[in-house]
Structure 1
């Protein structure tokens, strides 16, 4: 008997979405339903025209599942709320959205981050590690290079060379992306952070750095979410933890070292190729892999890269040359502006370089995303309706 294909509706037409369309078209159990875009259709060459639509209702009608990978917090929040109104499950590859509005959205319907980006890959690695009896201490990301305030000329070069948007390349380079990823991991996997902005230990080897972070977690008394700056490390994720003393000899025989800390790695993250695994997970009715959780403990604040002036406009915070993202504890910085909310935001007063932007510093654009954020930190959840 022929199995019915899962109809997947995709938001976005960038690198991830285009790759996902191609991957689904090669999968016999899946099919592309529609691809939602805000761009002019004639300007899109990497996705077949018959999939493209500007209409959210056409996009959702007849779909089995939605994959949100637009990279846009505000638009993504609106689309997900519409999908939930149709009782559709949603998979994201949009950590920016998850740490900004994901806590509210997670209470409205089935919402999970996908494998393929570092947070989803870490969640899958943790699931596997715990099943084998490991007790996680460090949920770790690996970065080879960071420049907290890169020049626009540098970023334009790497954007063109890698075929990625200028904003995306900038957010990778200035550390915003890793801060967002590890905030999602902390909230979703029940870990803490040991310092604002994370430790980000520079290490000559993954093993040395992982052990240093494990020692920090042991001293702190809780599992932590953090990253290593390790140019020799693989482009993936790692988990460092402990195991039962009775297994020490076996783990040494398995080339895991003498302990007490053991590091498991996934030395790759294959983005859109791995989303297929999460789509199938959802279709099988399995539990959420990862989301920001109903009660987040950390957020990602906007920190000024330079002096910002009154009436200056921030078109978009993530990937800008005005601000970068930094993980903060919500109870320590209750008035911070989440970097994901900054869209056409207007400065009300001067903000000095290196300062966290607060609610008193900017006028935010009204949107479902801003309403969802305030609802998730103590407001009225009904304010987040579209």
Structure 2
């Protein structure tokens, strides 16, 4: 069991990040029995940090984070920064919980075998992993690990994203990644790798259907043809913001499941109608502290990655400050074996286009100059380069 020393000592929870999720987590931790907030690692000047509960201590050095923590939650959303921090924290022997699917699908597999490294319940991937545990314990055989998406626009405008960012109180790049599909692609890549599922096609199938269960059955038919569980999503305006599993069950229980209002089968849809992000992270912290092990990570031998796709023609010399949430590239799931030279969108930070790229093209490593980083080194290690 992880603890702060004596069994009665509260667990010191260090946090990486000071954004929307991190602030919400810090507020949630202030009401948790047996936990206290440890240091908060930030790259911002202390005077620029607002919205923290009273008494929270911001630090600028990873060493201070490690010294004051028994467990660390990483939720910065910055792949390059998070990778370096996670490596140092895990080298010090501390368990790491993330709400950062971006880092999981880019460099997470490097950490999966080096200590306790897990995604948290609360965002869609962690909620799907928790729902799977419940489903399997009830005897269901999952066919589809599904995300529910209400809206998709591969090429939103800056004006549209600025409007929604202000309305929702989050950064424009975050809103853009939600809108153009990058976020759902990243989440479902993590789900596929972590739960041993495949994908039906590059970029996922994502059927559009206001009837969520009809969309789930369509994906289940594809899984049955593949003879393998799949990770995907349904574009279903009006459906709840949650996750679902489409699954089979022993036919001897068909009458029971019909009585329980699960339908006639043979495919049944288990629906979780919410994901509450920062409010749920504490469940995973307690899981780790009590010896419950990993909920979900990217696995040590991932099959799926999230490639960068050009949203527009890119000329040589074009600078891309950040790939995720940009207006020039978006993320799309690929099978690594089919696209070994693809550029993971999580690696694109301060990159420069090297040669002409057409709208819709998948970017290769030859198309970009990427700055040196530990994240890039780890990606090349994972690919055996």
Give the TM-score band, short-chain normalised: over 0.9
> Is 1:10 aligned to 2:15, yes or no?
yes
Instruction: Choose from 345, 363, 381 the match for 1:357.
Output: 363
Report the counterpart of residue 32 of structure 1 in structure 2: 37
Q: Distance in 1 between matches of 2:377 and 2:187?
A: 22
Is the 2:192–2:198 contact (alpha carbons within 8 Å) kept by the matching residues of 1? yes
Q: TM-score scaled to structure 1, two decimals? A: 0.97
| 1:321-332 equivalences in 2 (<5 Å) | 321-332=327-338
Cross-structure match for 1:93: 99
> 1:108 Cα shift?
2.0
Q: How does 1:195-344 map to 2 (within 5 A)?
A: 195-344=201-350
Q: TM-score, normalised by structure 2?
A: 0.97
Give the superposed CA RMSD: 1.1
Q: Is the 8 A contact 2:75 2:98 kept in 1?
A: yes
CA contact (8 A) 1:202 1:229 kept: yes
The answer (yes or no) to whether the contact 2:39–2:68 under 8 Å persists in 1 is: no
**Equivalent residue, structure 2, for 1:382:** none
Matches within 5 A, 1:70-109: 70-109=76-115
- For structure 1, the 5+ residue unaligned runs are 380-386
Cα deviation for residue 220 of structure 1 reads 1.8
Deviation at 1:233, TM superposition (A): 1.1
Aligned twin of 1:383: none
Q: Identify the match of residue 374 of structure 1 among 358, 380, 384.
A: 380
Structure 1 runs of 4+ aligned residues shifted over 4 Å read none
Question: Which residue pairs with 2:162 in the alignment?
Answer: 156
State how many pairs are aligned: 379
Q: Counterpart of 1:104 in 2: which secondary structure?
A: helix
**In the TM superposition, what is the alpha-carbon distance from 1:2 to its structure 2 partner?**
8.3
Rate the CA distance shift 1:362–1:2 in 2: closer, same or farther, 3 A. Answer: closer
Residues 214-249 of structure 1 deviation map (CA, whole Å, 9 limit, x = unaligned): 111111211100000001211000000100011111
- Conservation of the 8 A alpha-carbon contact between 1:24 and 1:276: yes
CA distance in 1, matches of 2:253, 2:340: 44
| SS in structure 2 at match of 1:171 | helix
Q: Is the 8 A contact 1:299 1:328 kept in 2?
A: yes
Summarize deviations over 1:275-298 as a string: whole Å, max 9, x none: 000000000111200000000001
1:85: how far off? 1.4
* Cα shift at 1:50: 4.2
Match of 2:123 in 1: 117
